[in-house]
Chain A
Amino acid sequence: QVQLVESGGGVVQPGRSLRLSCAASGFTFSRYAMHWVRQAPGKGLEWVSVLSYDGSNKDYADSVKGRFTISRDNSMNTLFVQMNSLRAEDTAMYYCTRGGLQPYDAFDIWGQGTMVTVSS
């Protein structure tokens, strides 16, 4: 079945780095834009980043621009986000989501999330 499985979360000290992964299965990963969305404990959803189907176009929320880097390996059906210079306010559940085949498409598939805690 269509599935996204995130991994790589954990507890990290402020200023350190972490790399999250999202393994896709059940669909042709290389055809879809992919996004990261996060949710701080008890808070709402915050869009983080997008990467086009071929990796040629990407964008970031202002809150993570310059610190996070999104990438993908279409041969491995995997999405990544490299998170550097982590701050306490980056503490959140991080979800990988499937964008659509078209630029305006909604997020129709979500992973279960991986928790990142930034704390000394």
Chain B
Amino acid sequence: DIQMTQSPSSLSASVGDRVTITCRASQSVTSYLNWYQQKPGKAPELLIYTASSLQSGVPSRFSGSGSGTDFTLTISSLQPEDFATYYCQQSYNTLRSFGQGTKLEIK
């Protein structure tokens, strides 16, 4: 199985900040890495697929990069609605493992 590790596990930031979350796979997943956002009490929503493609309707302040084993999610200028938990997920393997999540909190 492919293990996904995110860092940090939690992050405090302010509105307008630029933040980066990293995700590392235990083996290469080529570009098959996705990012999801989850707000309390809600289902996750797809933000980024295949490492860098923005899902329809997602604001352009979100971006993704990376390939192989190392990936990043960047939010260029935090907005109040961005405070949530973010998960990476590999879709290279049928067994679709997730990272443990990064909780983004207001400073």
Contact = CB atoms under 8 A, between A and B. Distances in A.
Q: Does A pair with B?
A: yes
Interface of A: 35, 37, 44-47, 50, 59, 61-62, 95, 103-108, 110-113
Contacts of A45: 36, 38, 44, 87, 89, 98, 101
Interface in B82-97: 87, 89, 91-92, 94-97
Interface residues of B, number: 24
A106 B49 contact: yes
Nearest to A62: B1
B32 A111 contact: no
Given A45-B44, A108-B46, A111-B43, 6 more contacts: A45-B101, A47-B98, A106-B91, A107-B96, A108-B55, A110-B45
Interface in B26-52: 32, 34, 36, 38, 43-46, 49-50
18 contacts: A37-B98, A44-B87, A44-B98, A44-B100, A45-B36, A45-B38, A45-B89, A46-B98, A47-B95, A50-B96, A61-B95, A104-B50, A104-B92, A106-B50, A107-B96, A110-B45, A111-B43, A113-B43
